[in-house]
């Protein structure tokens, strides 16, 4: 299946990735039509994150909307291309719910990082705005680098490397190189990358941030009798994790493509339960 056919197939599905792609592209057209046809920056200024606290307090929603907003064609093309390929890999191991969670939280962390710096160095960020999905997408990449660091990936079908090195390369190219250009946007990458690393690390150690809730009642620590059904459920959960670990180990040694169809389906099925 060609790359274009893969895109068409993805857009036909009502998946989280499809929704993210459509929302980003739709807002891109709305912003550019507004600016080009109506000669107005009203939508842009109400979607982008203002790096000025006096303005931000009247536009708190922009901390969320900025990560779906693009103005330049090259900007959105690069971000969505990286989102597409990174999300495809992400969904081979983890659920769509986790994909959306990492995207949103990485984007929020990127925006918050810049807002904090703008409060410390207000003159450096005066009259600046932030928009683009870069921080959110970088978060997805780094979460995978922590969760499946040794997964082999092929760069342009020529160079094969472990995912952790691929993620480091992506971060360096998009953030470190030409840091003086769009410095604010690149600083936000650090916030997104940090959240991705944190999420991947905790998930690998059995703690899923996407399941955390402030409203969940803490479990009582009183002793209780464990019935046979509960014991079986616990044993099954352990067996599932052992199976996932074995498949991930096989992937790290031989590559994802060397899994059988049944193994791929089993990995996908078990990962949805995590």
Region 113-132: what's the mean pLDDT? Answer: 91
What are the residues whose beta carbons fall under 8 Å from the beta carbon of 39, sequence distance 6 or more? none
Tell me what pLDDT residue 231 has.
47
Tell me what pLDDT residue 3 has.
52
CA–chain centroid gap for 59, Å, is: 24
Q: Mean pLDDT for the chain? A: 83
- pTM equals 0.78
Listed range (18-22, 58-62, 77-81, 231-235) with the worst mean pLDDT: 231-235
Tell me what pLDDT residue 220 has.
47
Region 126-130: what's the mean pLDDT? Answer: 89
Q: Which domains does the chain have, with CATH numbers?
A: 3-211 (1.20.1540.10), 228-271 (no CATH)
CA neighbor of 167 nearest in space, from 187, 190, 145, 200: 145
What pLDDT digit, counting tens, does each position of 18-43 carry? 999 999 999 999 999 998 888 888 99
| pLDDT > 60? residue 208 | yes
């Amino acid at each position: 299946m060609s790359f274009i056919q893969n895109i068409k197939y993805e857009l036909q599905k009502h998946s989280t990735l499809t929704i993210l792609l459509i929302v980003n592209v739709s807002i891109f057209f709305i912003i550019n039509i507004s600016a080009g046809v109506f000669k107005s920056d009203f939508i842009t200024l109400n979607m982008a994150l203002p790096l000025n606290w006096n303005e931000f307090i009247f536009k708190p929603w922009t901390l969320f909307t900025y990560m779906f907003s693009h103005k330049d064609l090259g900007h959105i093309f690069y971000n969505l291309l990286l989102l597409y390929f990174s999300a495809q890999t992400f969904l081979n191991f983890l659920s769509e719910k986790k994909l959306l969670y990492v995207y949103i939280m990485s984007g929020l962390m990127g925006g918050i990082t810049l807002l904090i710096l703008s409060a410390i160095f207000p003159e450096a960020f005066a009259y600046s705005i932030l928009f683009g999905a870069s921080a959110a997408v970088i978060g997805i990449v780094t979460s995978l680098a922590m969760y499946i660091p040794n997964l082999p990936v092929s760069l342009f079908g020529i160079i094969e490397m472990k995912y952790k090195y691929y993620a480091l390369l992506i971060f360096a190219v998009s953030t470190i190189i030409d840091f003086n250009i769009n410095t604010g946007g690149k600083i936000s990458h650090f916030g997104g990358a940090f959240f991705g690393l944190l999420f991947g690390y905790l998930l690998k150690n059995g703690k899923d941030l996407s399941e955390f809730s402030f409203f969940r009642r803490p479990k009582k620590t009183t002793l209780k009798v464990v019935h046979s059904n509960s014991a079986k459920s616990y044993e099954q959960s352990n067996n599932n994790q052992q199976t996932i670990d074995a498949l991930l180990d096989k992937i790290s040694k031989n590559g994802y493509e060397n899994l059988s169809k049944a193994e791929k389906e089993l990995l996908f099925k078990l990962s949805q339960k995590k």
